[in-house]
Amino acid sequence: MKIEEIYQNLEATRDELIRALDGLSKEQLNRQIASSSWSICQVCQHLAKTEELYVVAIMRGLKSKEDSLLEKKSLDFLLDRSKRLTAPDIVKPTDEILEYEEIIERLSHSREKLYKLLNSVEDPSVLSKRQFTHPVFKEMLLIEWVKSVYLHEQRHTKQIHEIKAGF
C-alpha cells in the first residue's frame, strides 16, 4: 500500500467520523446509553489518545536501524464489532464533558501530529521495514500501526452510529 493511499484512507475515515458527529448536541455527545458503555465524547477522546500514542510508537520504531523480518498481518479484525476489545488504561477516556468544538479540536490535534510525523519520513518504504511492539497486538510493522489508525477509527465510527441508534 502506498503512502498516498494511506493518506486517502485517513482522510476518508476522518470525514466519516466528523459526519457522524455533525449536528449532535452537547447532551447527545456526552450521554452514555448504558453505564457500561462510553459516550460519543468518550469514544472520540479514546481515538485522539490512541492516535497520539501511535505517533510515539511509530517514532520509536523509526529509530531502529534494523529491518524487520515480520510478515504483514491482517488487521481486518479491528472492524469486527462483535469481538469486544478492552482498551488499555492509558487510552481510556475520562468523564470530562466536552462540547463539539473541543472534541473536533482534540481529534484535529492528534491527526496533525500523525501527519507531521508521516511527512517527516524521507522514505515511506521504511514504514514497511521497521516494527514496534503493540501492547495488545504484539509485533507490528510501522505501516500496520498507521493503517490501524484509520481501521480503529472506522471501528469506533460504527460504535458511534450504534450509540446514536440508542438515543
pTM: 0.96
* Residue 132 DSSP class: E
Domains and CATH numbers, the chain: 3-165 (1.20.120.450)
CB-CB contact of 152 with 50 (8 Å): yes
Beta strands in 13-146 (DSSP E): 131-134, 138-141
From first to last of the 167 residues of the chain, give the pLDDT tens digit: 788 999 999 999 999 999 999 999 999 999 999 999 999 999 999 999 999 999 999 999 999 989 998 988 899 999 999 999 999 999 999 999 999 999 999 999 999 999 999 999 999 999 999 999 998 899 999 999 999 999 999 999 999 999 999 99
* Residue 37 DSSP class: S
